[in-house]
């Protein structure tokens, strides 16, 4: 993955047109070309970009409803169930959730129904799969972007008879890296699915677990932390968290002038757009002239993750601001980072965790995840943590996939509770080499 990104950056610096790597961090954020959709479908039933689709609005007085309440529901337009495979139907669900300032807001999730439900008819499995779409553009949200390609993990899970929930956890403002919102939106997406269990055909007793890598792990981990105080009635069977980014400041220092610098603009705007005063401050500090100016920085508002990686690779993000990095670490900005960008301070996960990360992760230092795991282990969280000596951030999405899948399967099969790792904290160094890319 490093080689693809470096070639992209080099070509960009040379003024050449080049396509961004299409699966960076296992993201599926392709923009849908509706004109190329299945012509056998009625054109009025084709997917429309969320920014243009009136369905993506909340009903009047939605704020009076409880978090997780279904506000709108529809069969997913077009042929999404066919794209996914092993799927009998797919639904879009618009539901009430809660922002980072604990304000009422809404989000959308996509629910995939398997062709053959696992279990004996009275039990079932629901996998909440958080996709790392890592953008501050609502049209990059999974409910729309999935039409450009459904992650293989989703089709595989459906083939096992699992229901699969895929939330647009960044919410209606695409608030990338806003931890509290992302956690709330993930929890409320599960609430919404369970609230509609009869309608969607979920068995009477359905166990549920979360899985996310990188930006998807961000939402999943925040959900695991917040569950005990925000959604105490939910009883998750487990959560698999790969490529965790526990500290957004550490990430910024790691990437701000490197190949992955494109993560910075959407993260800065996504985190602060939950806090209007801080957002306005950040905008006021952008330079208005020169090569690194506000126009170039704000272009991210209409970019997917792949666009961001291609546009900003190797550019110094501090150069866009009058005060350099100090702007992003000012007391005003630090207040937001402390409340919405640091994992480990909002609650103790009540479910078993499977955590996996590359020791050489170039996006988020391994020490940050080590410290988070140690913190949770110290208060009794059941954690199986695998530190891979092979590869970097993107590579671990592949290298750690089999172990995460096996762990989740044991959770849903009911065999985990009888395993040697059912209680306690287990930290192991592994060397899994499906790919040895450092990126």
Residues belonging to the active site: 214, 361, 393
- CA–CA dist 331, 252 (Å, integer): 16
- CA–CA dist 267, 262 (Å, integer): 9
Q: Which region holds residue 243: left if phi is over 0, alpha if psi is between -120 and 50, else beta?
A: left
Residue with tokens 């790919």: 435
Q: Alpha-carbon torsion 260, 149, 109, 158, what sign?
A: negative
130: tokens are 């958080």
Question: For 434, how many CA atoms within 13 A lie in the half-sphere containing its CB?
Answer: 13
Q: Alpha-carbon torsion 273, 275, 276, 277, what sign?
A: negative
Question: For 215, how many CA atoms within 13 A lie in the half-sphere containing its CB?
Answer: 30
> Phi/psi of residue 379, each to 5°?
-115, 20
- CA–CA dist 254, 361 (Å, integer): 10
- CA–CA dist 352, 423 (Å, integer): 8
- CA–CA dist 74, 66 (Å, integer): 20
Pair type for strands 104-114 and 87-98: antiparallel
CA 136 and chain centroid, separation = 12
């Amino acid at each position: 993955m490093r080689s693809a990104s470096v070639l992209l950056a080099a070509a960009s610096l040379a003024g050449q047109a080049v396509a961004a790597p299409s699966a960076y961090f296992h993201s599926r954020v392709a923009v849908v070309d509706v004109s190329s959709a299945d012509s056998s479908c009625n054109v009025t039933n084709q997917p429309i970009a969320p920014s243009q689709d009136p369905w993506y609005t909340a009903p009047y007085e939605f704020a009076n409803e409880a978090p997780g309440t279904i506000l709108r529901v529809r069969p997913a337009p077009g042929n999404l169930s066919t794209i996914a495979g092993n799927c009998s139907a797919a639904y879009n669900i618009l539901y009430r959730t809660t922002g980072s300032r604990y304000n009422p807001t809404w989000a959308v999730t996509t629910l995939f129904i398997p062709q053959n439900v696992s279990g004996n008819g009275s039990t079932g499995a629901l996998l909440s799969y958080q996709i790392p779409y890592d953008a501050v553009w609502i049209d990059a949200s999974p409910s729309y972007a999935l039409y450009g390609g459904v992650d293989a993990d989703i089709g595989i899970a459906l083939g096992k008879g699992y229901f699969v929930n895929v939330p647009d956890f960044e919410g209606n403002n695409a608030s990338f890296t806003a931890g509290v919102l992302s956690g709330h939106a993930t929890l409320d997406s599960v609430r919404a699915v369970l609230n509609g269990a009869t309608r969607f055909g979920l068995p009477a007793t359905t166990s549920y677990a979360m899985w996310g890598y990188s930006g998807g792990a961000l939402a999943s981990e925040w959900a695991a932390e917040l569950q005990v105080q925000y959604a105490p009635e939910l009883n998750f069977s487990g959560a698999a968290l790969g490529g965790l980014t526990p500290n957004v400041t550490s990430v910024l220092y790691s990437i701000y002038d490197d190949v992955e610098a494109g993560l910075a603009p959407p993260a800065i705007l996504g985190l602060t757009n939950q806090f209007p005063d801080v957002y306005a401050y950040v905008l006021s500090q952008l330079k208005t002239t020169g090569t690194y100016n506000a126009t170039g920085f704000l272009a991210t508002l209409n970019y997917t993750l792949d666009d961001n990686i291609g546009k900003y690779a190797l550019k110094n993000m501090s150069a866009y601001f009058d005060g350099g990095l100090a702007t992003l670490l000012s007391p005003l900005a630090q207040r937001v980072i402390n409340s919405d960008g640091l994992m480990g301070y909002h609650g103790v996960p009540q479910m078993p965790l499977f955590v996996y990360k590359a020791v050489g992760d170039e996006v988020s230092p391994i020490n940050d995840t080590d410290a988070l795991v140690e913190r949770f282990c110290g208060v009794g969280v059941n954690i199986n943590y695998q530190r891979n000596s092979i590869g970097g951030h993107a590579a671990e999405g592949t290298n750690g996939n089999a172990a995460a899948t096996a762990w989740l399967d044991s959770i849903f099969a009911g065999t985990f509770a009888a395993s040697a790792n059912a209680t306690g904290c287990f930290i192991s160094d592994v060397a899994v080499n499906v790919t040895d890319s450092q990126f």
